[in-house]
Amino acid sequence: MASETADKLAAMSLKDVQTVSHGPCNNMPEWKAQLETVKKGLPEHYALTKTLVFKPKTPKSQTAVLIMVVALEDSDTNSSLIAKALDVKEPRFAQADAVEAALGVKPADASPLAITAENAASVQVAFDLRILDAKVPVGVHPSRSDVTVFIRGADIKAHLDKTGVKITVIDFSLAAVYVSNRNHGTGLSDQDCGRQSASKQVTSKPPIKQAPKQTIEGAELVGITLAKEEDFSGWYQQVLTKGDMLDYYDISGCYILKPWSYGIWERVQQYFDSRIKSMGVQNCYFPMFVSAKVLEREKDHIEGFAPEVAWVTKAGQKDLEEHIAIRPTSETVMYPYYAKWIRSHRDLPLRLNQWNSVVRWEFKHPQPFLRTREFLWQEGHTAHIDYPSADKEVMQILDWYEGVYRDVLAVPVRKGKKTENEKFAGGFYTTTCEGYIPATGRGIQGATSHCLGQNFSKMFNITVEDPKWKEGDPEEAKKLHVWQNSWGLSTRVIGVMVMIHSDNKGLVLPPNAAQIQVVIVPCGITAKTTEAQRKALTDAVLDLEKTLSDGGIRVHADLRDTYSPGYKFNDWELKGVPIRLEYGPKDIEKNQVVAVRRDTGVKESVSLQNIAQELQTRLTTMHQDMFNKAKEAYDSHVKLVKTWDEVVPALDAKNVILMAHCKCQGCEDEVKENSKGRVDTEAPEDSRAPSMGAKSLCIPFDQPDGKDKIVPGVTKCVHCGENAKHYTLFGRSY
């Protein structure tokens, strides 16, 4: 009976494979091998599944549709997540009779293979994404708990798809719902058909509606199952987690920066740290703790942060006498000491910076990199003798922030000044780099450089004797309050980079940001390849790796022998490595290598003559191309509007808008109120943009000129009709 089932199943699997096997790759041999294992016993590597049947709370009037959870043995299939994912109430384990009535088997024998076109209507399936990801055969019970057969996870789903049963794929490890019964594909990326699928990449992106289709080809097993154009925030989560950038943490709003993303942060640090040091900024470290009385010293300032401050009230078992805050930012932490340290104008400018983490306990929907309760950043805090010195620095820092985006992340930003409504709490004026996310049409604040004026120095009494003071000048003129700046750039930059460049195959990393710029994948190994040939190829790959490494390229040779080239191609595409080199025996003969660009998929043969030089050039070009493409997307979505009627349609069309504005705060508030349109449901709420109305992003330094130039007294505010002062960039934003 068991072997009978096994054979039935074997037949089914084979049939399935044939029906879905696209392309020229012949994967029969592997399948034969797998079926052998069913007879011989356990395969060399495998994973086991569990099948659980639930019954949701259902009105008496209706017959309950059972829920079959099909998951890997060690997946945490928590029922509240299932309820949420399937939108059902209180799922409980189903009674034996209910299971038998629906599936005709005892609960113990229940298995996905027990579902047929006939009983498909009486049950829906919660399917573990990890089964699709499984790189090894998956064991299931063929409707008999005493028998286990091993097949490819994807084929279990293929079978279910064919029955027409409702399937929801859930990634239990992420506690987030992914695919809702959309992709009925069976991946093939495990097969050695990398060359073919790679060559497919040359074709330009398909239209949106086909995106899911596109993800079928090999992507589903390990790859992105959501289309950027369809479910942006789900796509963003997948790109980050499957691209190995980040993992979710068991405390909400906190995330783990894995080496793949932290390495990008290290590059950002190198770029910025060396520059600020060249102008005399020194690094230091202040405590993460701040006492309540010091924190609250500057009222406007603390108002901005108070609701988000995390408080330490206990140590061990002891309650602390005074509650201690964790810094949301360090102005009030540092400035009492500036008052102590700055004794004379000769101590100016004082320029300190720290690379640290700060905590802002937001209660809004968190977003990896964009809104997190703890985040890494640098905060610079400087003191100057006068305004010109402070102002000069504010602008220099802003230029370097733009440089981080342009030179490291290939991201274009627009520089400008924040309006009074949007400037830093307690500051004098705020300058900003504003980015743009084409997929959502929203603006995003990239980094800010603030001039605090003398506000904090008055609050904290940071003064020097004015060196210009002379005998006879009024006594009070002698005391000079210093001018201060503060400026910060956070790991948010990584999120912006990902949102802009990545695609439905995964991450796309700009060459300057990538830790691995070039990956070498040995190809062309077949059953007929001899040991000697394999060794020759490995040696050649290692030589090439050394050549490139000596040439200053961050290179990695992927010599994992357990994975096929096709699998490796997908793997490195998912991780966004800029250039993939495919290197096989034929290439060695021709003294060439095949290079594939991650951003375009374009593929070309490159001679091994000056290969390092050749690839350096391509990396430089690729970085520039990525920047240009993003810049074009930005520029083409900055809509200069002349009348109010154009505003909401422009916003709805994913533009940010440039409009002549009167500079009145009241008018700015009304713009936000009156520009609410079709709310983009993809977008998370943003505590700093309570509505999807357009807020002012900045007053760009680069103002329209020529016929669009503001004519004082003539050009009117597009919203209120008063005299316009300048163009302001408005947009829905993060």
Contact set with a second copy (CB under 8 A) = 41, 45, 173, 247, 249-251, 254-259, 262-263, 265-266, 282-291, 294, 306-318, 323-324, 326, 336-337, 340-341, 344, 346, 352, 356-357, 359, 361, 363, 373-374, 376, 465, 471, 560, 562
Structure-token pair, residue 732:
């829905």
Nearer to a second copy, 170 or 660 (CB): 170
140 - beta bridge partners?
Answer: 149
Nearer to a second copy, 41 or 207 (CB): 41
Q: How far is the CB of 570 from a second copy (least distance, A)?
A: 17
Nearer to a second copy, 172 or 627 (CB): 172
Residue 679 Rama label (left phi>0; alpha psi -120 to 50; beta): beta
**Could you tell me which of 189, 1, 161, 204 has the C-alpha nearest to residue 70?**
161
Sign for the CA dihedral angle at 75, 77, 78, 80 comes to: positive
Burial of 318: CB neighbours in 10 Å, binned 0-12, 13-18, 19+: exposed
DSSP assignment, residue 426? T
C-alpha span between 271 and 400 (Å, rounded)? 9
C-alpha span between 128 and 132 (Å, rounded)? 7
Contacts of 370 (CB under 8 A, 6+ apart): 444, 492, 495, 734
C-alpha span between 498 and 507 (Å, rounded)? 7
**Could you tell me which of 583, 582, 580 has the C-alpha nearest to residue 598?**
580
Nearer to a second copy, 251 or 714 (CB): 251
Nearer to a second copy, 357 or 592 (CB): 357
Q: How far is the CB of 694 from a second copy (least distance, A)?
A: 28
DSSP assignment, residue 394? H
Structure-token pair, residue 109:
């024998």
Q: How far is the CB of 329 from a second copy (least distance, A)?
A: 15
Sign for the CA dihedral angle at 184, 189, 193, 196 comes to: positive
Q: How far is the CB of 301 from a second copy (least distance, A)?
A: 15
Q: How far is the CB of 49 from a second copy (least distance, A)?
A: 16
Nearer to a second copy, 266 or 543 (CB): 266
**Could you tell me which of 547, 556, 557, 548 has the C-alpha nearest to residue 523?**
557
Q: How far is the CB of 381 from a second copy (least distance, A)?
A: 12
End-to-end CA distance of the chain: 60
Q: How far is the CB of 376 from a second copy (least distance, A)?
A: 6
Query: Residue 68 in contact with residue 52, Cβ under 8 Å?
Result: yes
Nearer to a second copy, 184 or 275 (CB): 275
Nearer to a second copy, 320 or 679 (CB): 320
Nearer to a second copy, 120 or 310 (CB): 310
The number of C-alpha atoms within 13 Å of 661 and in the hemisphere containing its C-beta is: 27
Q: How far is the CB of 164 from a second copy (least distance, A)?
A: 33
Q: How far is the CB of 32 from a second copy (least distance, A)?
A: 20
Q: How far is the CB of 292 from a second copy (least distance, A)?
A: 11
Structure-token pair, residue 710:
């503001």
Nearer to a second copy, 247 or 646 (CB): 247
